[in-house]
Structure 1
Amino acid sequence: MHSQDRIRWRLASQLGRPHGRVCGNNSAASPQRSLRAGSIAAGPLAAGLPADASNPITVVCISDTHQTQPQFPDGDPLLHAGDLTNQGSFEELQAQLDWLASLPHRHKVVIAGNHDKLLDADYLARFPERICEPEGQSVGDLEWHDLVYLNNSFETLGFANGRRLSIFGSLWTPQFDTFAFQYPRIRDVWTGAVPEGAHVLLTHGPPKGYLDLDGKGCPNLTREVARTQPRVVVFGHIHAGPGREEVGYRGVERAYQRVMAGDGGLEVVLGMVFWLLGAWAEELVSSVLGHGEERRGARTTMVNAAVVGGLRNEERRPVIVLEI
């Protein structure tokens, strides 16, 4: 890491606020110190995407590689939703960063996961004995190459077809055992955290109710996704829930999100039944009139991009590729 990059990282740490930049080249990206829960200041992002909608952006989604180095299809950008490593040591992290940097994808955006312990300054302060760093080397000595590291921050990527893609990355997950980048389940770190206008939300943990193995995700994240309605949400963490799911924000889907976020009781559940009947009738009429796509409203593609599975991470999952 160059000295100028280290200075920029320290400044971002001292300022204690998200940092983002427009990226259309291969300038080096440096990590930022972990922001404490509640310190995220969200705001609207510049518009993007429509310059040449006929030429889609191919997004390669991965997560939870856990020291493996699988083969990936072509695309741009490549998004990694955290847990690059098993133990979060310097050697493991540097090996994964070197591998990602060697891939041909032009834009590579990375967040940390709960296993990537060396990147969490608060974790290091509380449990220094759990991380073994080589003598004379620290997190500031990691070489990030051309990777973009997001820590409660955003990045706007530029593409050859004139389109721009705004990505907000946050690495927090609900408390489980003793890992990095975690928050107590009773604490809401998500409300108002995601900037309006973010096209892609990159998180380590899932929103509750979506590809999260029977509700192991965060309800406050579900509420925040419903508020901001990004085009894509990419996450991992729950290895047993890989796949993709398209969701909307009308009728029964909105009622389901309220239930998952803990905002509704029996009346909302009963409302889901009536909405379901109404949605069925609306779909029938729309299909007859040919206006189905126009009436669907905003949609979000949820992606659990975990590439390992099994009790010992012995299983390998196919990489998920999307077109926006």
Structure 2
Amino acid sequence: MKPNIKNIAVLTSGGDAPGMNAAIRAVIRTGIYHGINMFGVMQGYQGLITNNIKPMDARSVSNILHLGGTILKTARCLEFKTDEGQEIAYQNLKLNDIDGLVVIGGDGTFTGAKRFGEKYGVKVIGIPGTIDNDLGGSDFTLGYDTAINTVIEAIDKIRDTADAHDRLFFIEVMGRDSGCIALRSSIASGAEAVLLPEIETSVDELIEKLTLGAATKKSSSIVIVAEGHKQGGAYDIARKVKETFDHYDTKVTILGHLQRGGSPSSFDRILGSRLGYAAVNALIAGESAQMVGLRGNDIKLTSIEEALSDHSYKLENDLMEMTDVLSI
């Protein structure tokens, strides 16, 4: 395959996700394999504006496959949202003679990449790196699997103390707009109930379910609350439930940024490697404004615009039904 592109830069932006380093490694080494000069942009779009762009070789990405976070660092950059900021970023790309850009991140990252690419004609390929799994065009986003495993491990430990003390635990997980982590975690951990941003669930409905469980002699209950639930976070829900339902000693655990860290799972290491490899090949083939994603077991291209569209289909209907059936 003869490259039609000479210099490629890669950056990570927005929230970090386990598996980003696997993707960075694959991007750098795939490009070098094809004779392309490779660059890393430090601290995301901020690095484009400050010209914090450095050449990278195959050894630059040694021994990072197993690491969480991102060796390129990441930052949220308000300046990149402005015309002035994007102009500076473009001039720095020209200064370094970069003619292809791989961006790894979530919806904010892709929104910036779409506008930047359209405005300046920069060839951009996106890799979906977000634990929330809230992008279209890929069944799984980078970091999602690891985050779920982290949540399940924490809930398993909480279940031990909940059973020992007849406790009702409300566990808040990440997901401001997406209930993907909450839904899958609820099935895998055997939670009694799950509250999702996409579904209106009243406190009365939750209390009815908990009352039924208490009547059938459940020794404890776990309720998983996505942080973006319309009735409030775990503390808000717990307070409302406690006012009318005092069968259990009620406790709240906020897992927070614990979910972002840790060594990526084997799934995310392989996914990151596949997506990084595919992103460079897409640039070589002349593609732009596309995202590489996993569909079934195949890597496919989806326009960045489509990737930013509705992703509610990711709440699988059978899992939704199972939350009620299996928690009786």
Same fold flag (TM > 0.5): no
Q: Which has the higher contact order (CA 8 A, sep 6+)?
A: 2
Q: Which has the larger radius of gyration?
A: 2
TM-score w.r.t. length of structure 2: 0.31
